[in-house]
Each structure stands twice: as structure tokens, then as C-alpha cells.
């Protein structure tokens, strides 16, 4: 099968942030399954002047590659709804979107995408339920997983290099909880954007998990300053599967449905609060044989049930009826089909004034660079609430006013 992956090569489209998780893990998994893989980078803003050029380039790429399946990871409004509709209506290709952060993102974005793709895959049961309530029958619950290429047998506690490690961005409450561990005399090796060790190559991460006595995972979503009460904002992260897959011992913050994938105390260990985190780190540090037993069981469960090859096989099987139905369609896509949406996307003197009107007050408060990003965020938050799916069309104001910052 020919599969075109449409996603960002680098995290947030920025090379200095390292290669994007989806790029590192999804493409190799699909290749290992025997598929012919194409790639379109939808995250690099330096390649085009605006989203009009980006969408035209995607349509031209689709026309050249002629994929059976387009596997997207849609972030915001970089790929227009008009572009998705043109591909679905004028080709035999089926479009699947992998939804990220749907515990909070489904309401503001994914529910609009789902109506214009053949299959929206979510890792959030809450999003699946909301989709069904909204009459969206093409939303499939799946989950993050481990890469087969990163699977490694667990090493014994006495062979580990790091006492405790965390690999990830230091947003929200994460920095404070890690500081609490250190204040309790626990040595934490922190890797990722905003940490003292900084961003590391994605291919180095499995070795860190494998050589850590304890690997921590936080479950809070990126836009939530979670305070440790209740389950609001928590979600299952990719680390949940990466750590045991790489042979590490996973100590993870609680998240909805986590018990569907691992058994607490047998295959992983779960914490709820900063005090609980500290207590469990100390317990497993002082009980290495129990730590080793849980690491082995978690690894076995992951190897048998939680790999991307298994996840993607299920997704493609769900997509097969759509592919069968469109098998005899003729390709009639053309970049020229985007002429009308592109005309709606053009900026004018008025849109320039609007951008300046929005950015000046935010820049006065946050500084020039952060101010522009804050203005974009403000407009985006207002747009999806007021304008709905128009936010993700060519005429959407956030995409017209803030290309480089999106």
C-alpha cells in the first residue's frame, strides 16, 4: 500500500526542538509493515510564504505520489478543510488523521477535522464519546504505543546509570514536581526542552529509559496547569508505552483508562500527587527486586500488545471498506482546484492593520516575540469558539494573519 504521511519533521516545525515524535516513530513502523511511504512536511514554515502555498504544494505532492492512504497529524489550520475535501472527492485516496491531545483538543479542533477525513483516530475515550454524541461515526479509539525498533530487554536495577529520569518538555507543573523530588534528596536526570540537559536526539531516548532505575511520566496536558486534584487534564502519553517497551521501569502519573493497558503494581506503578511520587520513587529505589519484576512484566505486555505495527494494522483494517469503495475512482485532483480558497486566503491592507492592532498590546505586555505568539493564541481561541470550522478553512483569520507563528 502507498501511504503518504503528512506531518511535521521537527517538533513545532523547529529543528532546534529536535525531530518530531510522529516522524521518528510512525514512518518507520509503516515501512516495517511493508508499505511504500511518502512524506510531506506540513510543519516547516520556511518552505512557503503562506498556507496557500503549503496547501497547493501538498495537493501537487498527492497528485504525483498517488497514495492509497494519506496519514495526517493535523495540528491546527495548516491543512485547509477545502484541501481535505478536494482530495476525498476527487481521488481514490482515503484520509486518516491521528488526533493528538484530544483530551482537550477535540473540542477546539479535532471535531472539525473529523467531519472532513475518512477516519479520525483518537487516544481519548472522552473524545470518542463526544464524537458519537455529535453523530460522528468515523472516530476510532486507539492509543500510543512502542516502536518495535526500540524494544529492549530490561536491565537489572544495579546496572542502571540514572537513579530517576524524565524526558520531556518542562511545561506546567512538571518543573515544580521534579524540584520536589530533588529537594527530597533524589537525583533526577532531566532531558528535553527547558531542562538543564536540553533537547536530545530522539534515537537516544530509549537508551535513557533502559538505563534508568525509574523513568517518570507526567500525564497532564500541555495547556493545563494541573494541581494534582482529580483527573481533569490528564491523558495517556506516548511515554506510557515507550518506557516499558525500551526495558525501563515506568512510574507514571494516573490517567483515565490507564488500567486498560497496564496493571498497576504488576506491570507499571502509578502516582497521584507530588508526595505520592516522592514516596514511590524512594520505595522502588529501596526495593530493586520488585522494581525489576515490574519492569520485566511491563516490557512483556508492551512487546505482545502495544506496538505501532499492531495499532496501525487495526487502523488500516478499519479503513479498508473506504478503500474498497473508492478503488475504481479516477484521479482528478489538481493544484488549480485551490484557486478559489486561495483567493479567500489572500491578505490585504485591512488584515495587516488587524494583525498590528492585535500584536501591539500583547507585545507591550510580553515583549515582541512572545507578544506576537500571544496575539495569535488569543485570535485562535476566539476564532474556534465564534467561527467554528471556518477557523480551519482558507478564510480563517488565524492562518491568514499568523503564518510564521502558527
Q: Name 250's bridge partners.
A: 215
Residues in the chain: 406
Same domain, 321 and 380: no
Per-residue burial over 257-271, b = 16 or more CB atoms within 10 Å of its CB, e = otherwise: ebeebbeeeebbbbb
* Mean model confidence pLDDT for the chain: 94
Q: What is the dihedral of CA 322, 120, 384, 46, to 10 degrees?
A: -90
Same domain, 61 and 77: yes
Position 228 in a domain: yes
Give 264's pLDDT tier (boundaries 50, 70, 90). very high
> Which letter does DSSP use for residue 386 in this model?
H
pLDDT at 195: 81
Same domain, 186 and 97: no
pLDDT at 230: 42
Same domain, 300 and 312: no
> Which letter does DSSP use for residue 106 in this model?
I
258 vs 13, higher pLDDT: 258
Position 82 in a domain: yes
Residue spans of beta strands (DSSP E) within 123-199: 139-141, 162-167, 188-191
Same domain, 171 and 221: yes
Give per-residue pLDDT as tens, 197-249. 888 888 899 999 999 999 999 998 654 444 443 445 789 999 999 999 999 99
Query: Distance (Å, rounded) from C-alpha 212 to C-alpha 224?
Result: 28
pLDDT at 232: 52
How many structural domains comprise the chain? Answer: 3
List the domain range (segments joined by +) for residue 270.
Answer: 148-305
Give per-residue pLDDT as tens, 75-99. 999 999 999 999 999 999 999 999 9
Same domain, 325 and 245: no
Position 31 in a domain: yes
Phi, psi of 9 (to 5 degrees): -70, -40
Q: Name 40's bridge partners.
A: 6
pLDDT at 228: 42
Same domain, 159 and 51: no
Query: Distance (Å, rounded) from C-alpha 215 to C-alpha 246?
Result: 11
C-alpha cell at 365: 505586555
The helix (H) or strand (E) run that includes residue 321 is helix 308-325
pLDDT at 226: 43
pTM of the model: 0.92
pLDDT at 335: 79
Same domain, 324 and 294: no
Position 406 in a domain: no
Position 137 in a domain: yes
> Which letter does DSSP use for residue 2 in this model?
E
With contact defined as beta carbons under 8 Å apart, do 297 and 267 qualify?
yes
Q: Name 307's bridge partners.
A: 146
* Listed residue (285, 99, 299, 311) closest to 206, CA to CA: 299
Same domain, 272 and 329: no
Same domain, 335 and 355: no
What average pLDDT does range 170-185 have in this prediction? 93
Same domain, 340 and 387: no
pLDDT at 147: 95
> Which letter does DSSP use for residue 109 in this model?
I
Phi, psi of 299 (to 5 degrees): -65, -45
User: What CATH number has the domain bearing residue 326?
Assistant: 3.40.50.2000
Position 221 in a domain: yes
Same domain, 275 and 384: no
Amino acid at each position: 500500500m502507498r501511504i503518504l504521511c503528512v506531518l511535521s519533521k521537527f517538533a513545532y516545525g523547529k529543528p532546534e526542538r529536535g525531530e518530531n515524535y510522529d516522524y521518528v516513530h510512525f514512518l518507520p513502523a509503516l515501512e516495517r509493515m511493508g508499505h511504500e511511504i511518502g512524506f510531506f512536511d506540513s510543519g516547516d514554515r520556511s518552505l512557503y510564504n503562506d498556507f496557500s502555498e503549503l496547501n497547493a504544494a501538498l495537493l501537487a505532492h498527492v497528485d504525483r505520489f498517488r497514495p492509497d492512504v494519506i496519514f495526517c497529524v493535523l495540528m491546527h489550520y495548516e491543512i485547509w478543510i477545502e484541501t481535505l475535501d478536494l482530495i476525498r472527492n476527487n481521488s481514490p485516496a482515503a484520509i486518516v488523521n491521528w488526533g493528538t491531545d484530544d483530551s482537550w483538543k477535540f473540542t477546539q479542533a479535532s471535531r472539525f477535522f473529523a467531519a472532513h477525513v475518512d477516519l479520525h483516530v483518537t487516544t481519548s475515550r472522552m473524545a470518542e464519546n463526544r464524537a458519537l454524541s455529535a453523530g460522528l461515526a468515523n472516530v476510532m479509539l486507539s492509543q500510543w504505543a512502542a516502536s518495535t525498533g526500540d524494544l529492549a530487554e530490561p536491565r537489572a536495577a544495579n546496572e542502571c546509570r540514572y537513579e530517576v529520569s524524565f524526558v520531556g518538555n518542562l511545561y506546567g507543573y512538571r518543573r515544580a514536581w521534579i524540584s520536589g523530588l530533588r529537594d527530597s534528596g533524589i537525583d533526577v536526570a532531566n532531558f528535553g526542552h527547558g531542562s538543564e540537559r536540553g533537547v536530545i536526539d530522539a534515537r537516544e531516548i530509549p537508551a535513557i529509559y533502559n538505563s534508568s532505575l525509574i523513568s517518570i511520566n507526567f500525564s497532564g496536558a500541555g495547556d493545563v496547569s494541573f494541581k494534582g486534584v482529580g483527573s481533569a487534564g490528564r491523558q495517556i502519553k506516548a511515554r506510557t508505552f515507550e518506557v516499558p517497551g525500551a526495558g525501563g521501569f515506568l512510574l507514571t502519573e494516573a490517567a483515565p483508562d490507564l488500567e486498560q493497558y497496564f496493571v498497576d503494581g504488576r506491570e507499571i506503578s502509578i502516582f497521584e500527587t507530588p508526595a505520592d511520587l516522592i514516596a514511590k520513587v524512594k520505595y522502588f529505589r529501596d526495593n530493586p527486586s520488585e522494581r525489576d519484576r515490574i519492569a520485566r512484566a511491563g516490557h512483556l505486555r508492551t512487546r505482545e500488545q502495544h506496538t505501532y505495527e499492531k495499532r496501525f494494522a487495526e487502523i488500516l483494517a478499519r479503513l479498508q471498506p473506504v478503500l474498497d469503495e473508492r478503488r475504481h475512482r479516477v484521479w482528478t485532483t489538481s493544484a488549480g482546484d485551490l484557486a478559489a480558497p486561495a483567493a479567500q486566503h489572500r491578505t490585504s491592507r485591512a488584515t495587516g492593520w488587524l494583525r498590528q492592532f492585535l500584536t501591539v498590546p500583547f507585545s507591550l505586555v510580553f515583549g515582541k516575540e512572545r507578544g506576537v505568539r500571544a496575539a495569535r493564541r488569543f485570535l485562535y481561541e476566539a476564532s474556534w469558539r465564534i467561527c467554528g470550522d471556518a477557523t480551519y478553512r482558507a478564510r480563517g483569520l488565524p492562518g491568514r494573519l499568523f503564518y510564521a507563528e502558527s
